[in-house]
Structure 1
Amino acid sequence: MANNNHVAYLDSIRGLAAMAVITEHYIIAYGLPCRDALCQRVLDMPPFNFWWDGGAAVSMFFVLSGMVLSLKYFRLGCHPDLQHFNLVNYTLNRLFRLWPPYLVVLGLSAALYLAATDVPFTDNALPPSSWLTDTWRANPLSATDMLREAVLLKLPENVVLLPQAWTLTIELALSLLLPVGLLLVERGAVWLVFFACLVVSLLGVSAFLLHFLLGLLIARNYRAIAGYFKTRVLRRRLLLLIGFALYTSGGLNQNSQMPESIVWAISGLGAGALLMFAVASTRLQALLSLPLLRQIGRVSYSAYLIHMLVLLCVTPRILHGMQAVTGNRSLLWLGGYGLSVAVVLLLSWACYYLLEVPSIALGRRTIGMFS
């Protein structure tokens, strides 16, 4: 691969996408930081919504996932090196990477769901929207319902304990299709596109498969993309502008009749273009490899898992305590957001080392038993 820090900068992109999702959920719960109508309208439109466009960030997750999972098979060029590929090992790796941490956080969420009856929602000077207050309170769950949410490969239609987990079930299912994608891309991109259209239209596989396979194609052409755009500065900048415009275009379609699938597809193309720009920009790679961004990227999965629990159980208490100091809405918003993010990152750091690292190690030991 072109350099030794590609994992660092790609992880950082994932971390920034996770932060965008967390920020969007905070904004859905507590609104934008300003009350002025013009200010809200500006912050709600591209490109100014870039920092909290969670929908675009989800598109980035899927394109990035296809790219990251595929990269190691294209070390020698544009043909996948499958000589040492082991389907059982790959499947176990993915299951242990995602499922055990999810189950632990789900169990914590279930315990808080049963115990968190005194969260100070209504007493806050910055009250949350019904989207947050009704997430648990308006969705009674039985023990059987909770157990259904543990089956990550087939979650129920209404996910309550960890509402954001709908993306994880798609991520796990799509990642298990990677071996098929690698075999087909060996025959050419046309075969890959035909396969994607076939399984999406006839078998009901998520349309996010197209995002995932776009990431695979970027991985396949990693060297060519880097070589082509590094020496063509104007084209590289144009790629950035086009990618940014497509990526943030969802904000323009909020009141349109455009099908949601088209909106997702456009933001996915934007995510792909931005990743191609990152592949060719050594300056951006150096920026994304800063220690703080690398750390956020490292714990991004845990942050994605844990952040709704913080918004539901911790943020209201933070705001409740802050209003004894100030009644200014903007200060409450900024303080609540900053402290909530700090709590999410702190807990994510703990979850990464206490859940993710042991889960990955357990997966390796399990694979060793089959070797």
Structure 2
Amino acid sequence: MKIFVEKSIFSNELKLFQGIFEKKTLMEILQNIKVTAFENGVLELTATDLEIGLQSSVKVDVREPGSFTVNGRDFYDLISRMPDGPVEISENNDLQIVINNASKTSKYKLMGMQSSEYPNLPESDFSQSIHLNSAKLQSMINKTYYIISPEMKFNLGGALLSLGSERWEMASTDGHRLAFCAVDESISTGESLEFIVSRKTLLELLKVGEDLDIDFAFDKNNLFFKAGNRVLSARIIDQKFPNYRAVIPESTRFKAGLNAEALLTTLRRVLVFKTRNNGVFFRFDKGKLILERSTPEKGEAHEELQIEYSGDDIKAAFNGHFVLDFLTHVETESIEIGMNDGENSFVFKPVSSQGVDFIYVVMPLNL
């Protein structure tokens, strides 16, 4: 196999695959990327961790078709650091991948593995695919993915994506908080669809679907997302998602309006003191919000913010980092906090939706 490819183009495409490779795996070949050159000048790239897979193609100068697999991180790190201009990549059936720059002043060899040993990706069929607006889908992902911990498994290891005839919804929860968002969009299937999409899949969608609309398809085992020359496949999480709607208060008696940036800046100062549960007391009083934190080993913090509030005096403790997560994922200047008392769920949301309805529900800490 021998190809010539522009370094910048190839490096940018390889970068998309870096999130697929796990740091630890029982199969060494899953650390690799499969590279296949065809006579028609197409270079196909494939990577999988057996849960999700990514395949893309780029146009290159193919002198000799062929295929190999090589460590995906090493391959990207090397290509991205090569001098600008064309890069020559060759392999002569000896599993030694030779990489040269155009002037032959840089030469590297990487050891590969047989491409025949590489797992196959599931077959995708986009003949009856559903068109998804990438900008709206990515906005929903950005507002929900951060709640999902990489350590979470099964039904809490992903976000629930619901596609209806008039509305798309996405929800994620870790048992202590909930992020929910919705957009007014429709699908053409005539029936509603619902899937749990893993955190890793959501993060890869943010990369492969950037600035490109997405065609979505599925079979009984897998989800498929096509964006331009890229196809992302993901195994369906066959679990029941928690009844998240039960934790969203039907109404709130009191509402506080305040500046998102002011609360973000203040809360970051208060959280300078490190504690086990990151607890911060929020006290809502007439026209002001008081933030307090006290640790015997570190000291005390007291902050007051001017807010729009005329309800009862309510005090509750929150994991401060949970509130920070919300504040770093809203795109509006003002937010609203809804509450009934200091013991039940609080509802955080931006004042204006900007096309995406977004609410964030947090349970107070028992301090």
Q: Give the TM interval when normalised to the shorter protein.
A: under 0.3
| More relative contact order, 1 or 2 (CA 8 Å, 6+ apart) | 1
Question: Which has the larger helix fraction?
Answer: 1
> TM-score by structure 1 length?
0.21
Q: Which has the larger radius of gyration?
A: 2
Question: Which has the larger strand fraction?
Answer: 2
